[in-house]
Structure 1
Amino acid sequence: MTPASATTRFSASLLSLLCVAAAVTALLFDEPTISFSEGFTHLFGNDNFIRSADDRSVRLTLNRYSGSGFISSDLYDHGFFSASIKLPKDYTAGVVVAFYTSNGDIFPRVHDELDFEFLGNVREKDWRIQTNVFGNGSTKRGREERYLVPFDPTEEAHRYSILWTPDHIIFYIDDVPIRELVRTEELGSEFPSKPMSVYATIWDGSAWATSYGRIKMDYQYEPYAADFSDLVLRGCRVDPVQQVDAADRCAEAVEDLMSADYARLTPMKRAAMRRFRERYMIYSFCYDQHRYGNVTFPDCDYVSPEHTRFGEWGDNQFPPEEIRRRSLRRSRKTSAVADSSSQ
């Protein structure tokens, strides 16, 4: 079965899955949304950053001169972070839209990060979603997973959420859990544990984003626009200078966070997550022997349907330049922060 025919076949079943799960978990995301100015501030991009008149949504654009982005006004000691995102239309090869948490500006060598990255493509080809986890500066071996996007993310906004507690991390798409990372003793410091900010950006990822950099951005289609709305920041705010008391001061807030419905994966939600992963995950670091050889990660379990999909899609065939991709992305994000401080 070719990737194109597989996508067509699986699209209807995922939409059905999302609808069923949303109906079952309708109250999971009963979190108040905030205005932009209540929790965020402009990061970089000047005229490429457009705030709505009612302050409830933001448009980030990318052209040949600059991308754009915003950042939470505070650091958070764990939390639940969510946004509805509508991605750019038409030819989007090389475009990267990101919704993520990081503390790289404070801990550049031992930083933590949780990523939702949206990877553009040529016209009539699917966007792909990538999640990644870095803990304590473990950038040499990111925990990347990549999934098909069987709905059209350019037609309407979809909700993307990250739950981060001291015990586990869960990524959600439209109320469906798609990935969980559980903290274990074996995982050690590679589980993100330091306070992080929340970011949203759009930038030129031509070096790696589409077909591993073989297809570049075409600026005749500029500007590329991504819309962010329904912003949610739930967590314990932390002073970036006085972080030593964060654990004690935030204990009650973290306990409250861990008691939320979306922090508990019931058997029904686990079944929905398993179906999603078996049908739509096309890459996982767990199965990538080209990059990691026979290294065994403590957070990996062998799941036969996932491994089969991994092999079918060929996303394990990394060209040599892929080795440099992570450092390029890190430098891109770092330069974005640097640009913001000079504007």
Structure 2
Amino acid sequence: MTSLDGYKWRCSFAFGKYEQMASALLLALLLMAHLDCPFARRLYGLDGFNQNYAITWGANHVSYLDQGRVVQLSLDRSSGSGFGSKLDYRSGFFHLKIKLPNKDSAGVVATFYLSSRTNARHDELDYEFLGNREGKPITLQTNIFANGHGNREQRIHLWFDPTADFHDYKILWNAYQIVFFVDDTPIRVYKNLASIGVEYPSQPMQILASIWDGDSWATDGGRTKINWTHSPFYAQFQGFNIDGCSSDSITCSSPNLWWNAGSYRELNPAQKAAYQHVKEKYMTYDYCYDKTRYPTPPPECYQ
């Protein structure tokens, strides 16, 4: 190779290298423009947990199973445990796959919820799993707080054994509606009716999960207590990727975010049919029909 040939080869190599770098930079910029909002990275297993979540309490009651793909929270007489997301979010389609405590779990409460860090005027979207004696159904209670006002409980019995395997519990939250899903079945819908004066959650919220002693109220109104001889009680969680818009963004209502698209602004016909089936067959309590608490139902109940 002559010195001229060597020069040409080095120039060609350098040009190709910079061309690749420019292409990679362009791709990154295009992706950022398309996303239009900061996301938690879609990592899985223990990497996903450590990237997106941290233990918030009861660290000595937390263990990692299946090479870190499962986080197990435990409850005994000394303590429960919990974890929470490192970021707060202002919209998204959030989920955790959960396997609940088996056998006699009366008085035990496992949770997955979103909550703002404000106090008196906080927003919150709750899944609360209320344990029961062995052979009796676990109750799934949902609740919605907006601007500090809650008391919007609904309860259902699930159509499967939630202690036998993992199921995917999801919360869609955008500017149009909040939908709670069990796997792909909608079990609750709360529309944004701010136009008629109904409060709607809008504050940045953290994702949280926990297991704790709720025997003062959780089972039979608190009449059935925890049998501590059956402790520790375990709730297992997996699926730690997060699809959400973090609270430091001003574009969390952007239509470029897939959960804000038109197809997520109301249920489709199949989802409406499934939701109606759940209400007719599995719902055991709905605040809208509690005449003792609400002689006149709240305005959202008429929609």
1:218 CA drift (Å): 1.1
Instruction: Label 1:267 to 1:32 Cα distance change in 2 as closer, same or farther (>3 A).
Output: farther
In the TM superposition, what is the alpha-carbon distance from 1:107 to its structure 2 partner?
Answer: 1.1
Among 124, 130, 136, the alignment partner of 1:119 is: 130
Partner of 2:299: 298
Aligned-residue identity in percent = 40
- Displacement of 1:55 after TM fit? 3.2
263-272 vs 197-206, which deviates more?
Answer: 263-272
For residue 284 of structure 1, the aligned residue among 286, 290, 296 is 286
Where does residue 22 of structure 2 map in the other structure?
Answer: none
Matched with 2:147 is 136
Pick closer, same or farther for the CA change 1:268–1:253 going to 2, 3 Å.
closer
C-alpha distance 237-278 of structure 1, shift in aligned 2 (>3 A): same
Q: State the number of aligned residues.
A: 260
Matched residue type, 1:117: E
Name 2:108's counterpart in structure 1.
95
Is the counterpart of residue 73 in structure 1 residue 86 in structure 2?
A: yes
Query: Is the contact made by 2:198 and 2:299 (CA closer than 8 Å) also made in structure 1?
Result: no
Q: Which runs of 4+ in 1 moved over 4 A?
A: 260-264
Quote the Cα distance in structure 2 between the aligned partners of 1:187 and 1:169. Answer: 17
1:209–1:33 Cα change, 3 Å = farther
Query: CA offsets per residue over residues 147-173 of structure 1, 9 Å max, x none?
Result: 012311111111100011011100000
RMSD, matched Cα: 2.0
Q: Secondary structure at the match of 1:291?
A: coil
Query: SS of 1:212's equivalent?
Result: helix
TM normalised by structure 2 equals 0.81
1:160 to 169, 178, 181: 169
Partner of 2:14: none
TM-score, L = length of structure 1: 0.72
CA contact (8 A) 2:289 2:297 kept: no
TM-aligned CA deviation for residue 79 of structure 1:
1.2
More helix by share: 1
Q: 1:177 corresponds to which residue?
A: 186
Q: Which residue of the partner structure matches residue 107 of structure 1?
A: 118
Distance 1:299 1:254 in 2: 29
* Residue 88 of structure 1: how far off its partner (Å): 0.5
SS in 2 for 1:228: strand
CA change 1:219–1:162 in 2 (3 A) is same
- CA–CA separation in structure 2 for the residues paired with 1:157 and 1:262: 25
What amino acid maps onto 1:281 in structure 2?
M
Question: Deviation per CA, 1:238-267, whole angstroms, max 9, x where unpaired?
Answer: 24xxxxxx4x34343774321285554111
- Structure 2 counterpart SS, 1:74: strand
Q: How does 1:155-304 map to 2 (within 5 A)?
A: 155-185=164-194, 188=197, 190-239=199-248, 246=249, 248-252=250-254, 255-259=257-261, 264-292=266-294, 294-301=295-302
Mapped partners of 1:254, 1:203: distance in 2: 39
Show the counterpart of 2:20.
none
- For structure 1, the residue ranges without an aligned partner over 5 or more in a row are 1-30, 240-245, 303-343
SS at match of 1:200: strand
Alignment-derived partner of residue 307 in structure 1 = none
> Which residue identity lines up with residue 159 of structure 1 in the other structure?
D
8 Å contact 2:132–2:219 — kept in the other structure?
yes
Listed as ranges, the matches of 1:23-34 within 5 Å are 34=44
